[in-house]
Amino acid sequence: MSEENKDLGDKAKDAAKGAKKSAKEFAKDAKESAKEFAEDTKEAAKEFKEDTKEAAKDFGQEAKKTADEFKEGLASAGGDNKKILAGVLAIVFGQLGVHKFILGYQKEGIIMLVATVIGYATMCLIIGSFIVMATAIVGLIEGIIYLTKSDEDFYNTYQVGKKPWF
């Protein structure tokens, strides 16, 4: 039996040496694969960075172009155009105070907007319905007033005279 044990011991040693050799080869292959993966990742990151820079430049140019177009449109919305714009917005979105912002009355616009939001927030109570209805009626009345005034009266009253309400 000792002869058999000796043969088994030799076989185990040979198997261990083979396993060690296989493990070293596997580790070497794994290192090479990791290096290749790292290089590929670096290249992909570099390409992504370049693409992102180009996309950011394009986006910036488009945003600037759009802003310039908006400025041109806003500049042309003076005088007569503000009357019609403010009147229509007052009738359609009057309860939100949009027409007040168009005419440059930020404080009054915020008051109407906050009142409407509070009205909708308290809609489950009876008072909320009245608040929303009141802001809508104010917007409707102001829209009708804006559209029925002559261009000169509108300009003198709301743009030069700065009359914020009715």
The reported pLDDT for the residue numbered 72 is: 63
Confidence band (pLDDT; 50, 70, 90) for 118? very high
Coil, helix or strand for 153?
helix
**To which H or E segment does residue 111 belong?**
helix 106-121
**126-149 residues labelled b (16+ CB within 10 A) or e (exposed):** eeeeebbeebbebbeebbeebeeb
pLDDT higher than threshold 70 for residue 3? no
The reported pLDDT for the residue numbered 70 is: 60
Radius of gyration of the chain (CA): 38
Confidence band (pLDDT; 50, 70, 90) for 111? very high
* Spatial contact of 86 and 102, defined as CB atoms under 8 Å apart: yes
The reported pLDDT for the residue numbered 134 is: 92
- Mean pLDDT along residues 23-42: 84
**To which H or E segment does residue 26 belong?**
helix 2-75
- Mean pLDDT along residues 114-140: 91
Q: Which residue has the higher pLDDT, 70 or 16?
A: 16
The reported pLDDT for the residue numbered 75 is: 53
As a whole-number percent, the residues of the chain with pLDDT over 90 amount to 23
